[in-house]
Amino acid sequence: MQMLIKIGYYTTFILSVLLFLSFMGLSLDHWLHPFKKNAEAVILFLSGIIIIFGIFFSVKYGYKSDHISNGIFQLLGSWLVAAIFLTIGLVFFNGSSK
């Protein structure tokens, strides 16, 4: 059972890193493209920051073998917070078209 929890932790950790890199890449793409909105770039950037904080706290507090399930919940919680922030940001605070 402990091995499955470790596999779950490392899987969610790798997916979190990929999610962070995709948010940062999309944010950079929106900043560099002249016809895309800067508000979307800021929202994507802040979602990436939320994910990286989840990764940081997961490694700091959930990496030990007796608390590794806490690390999984911290990563999944940061996914949830980033998804809520991204949805609210893109729906309500996106602004008008250029």
Each residue's pLDDT tens digit, 1-29? 888 988 999 999 999 999 999 999 999 99
- Residue 98 pLDDT > 60, yes or no? no
| 82 pLDDT tier (thresholds 50, 70, 90) | very high
- C-alpha dihedral (36, 37, 42, 43), degrees to nearest 10: -100
Question: Tokens in use for 61?
Answer: 């507090």
Mean pLDDT of the chain: 88
pLDDT of residue 1: 81
> For the ranges 7-11, 16-20, 34-38, 94-98, which has the lowest average pLDDT?
94-98
- C-alpha dihedral (51, 52, 57, 58), degrees to nearest 10: 70
Name 1's Cβ contacts closer than 8 Å, sequence gap at least 6. none
Domain ranges (residues) in the chain: 2-92
- C-alpha dihedral (54, 59, 61, 64), degrees to nearest 10: 150
Share of the chain above pLDDT 70, in %: 95
| 33 pLDDT tier (thresholds 50, 70, 90) | confident
CB contact at 8 A, 19 and 80: no
CB contact at 8 A, 29 and 8: no
CB contact at 8 A, 52 and 20: yes
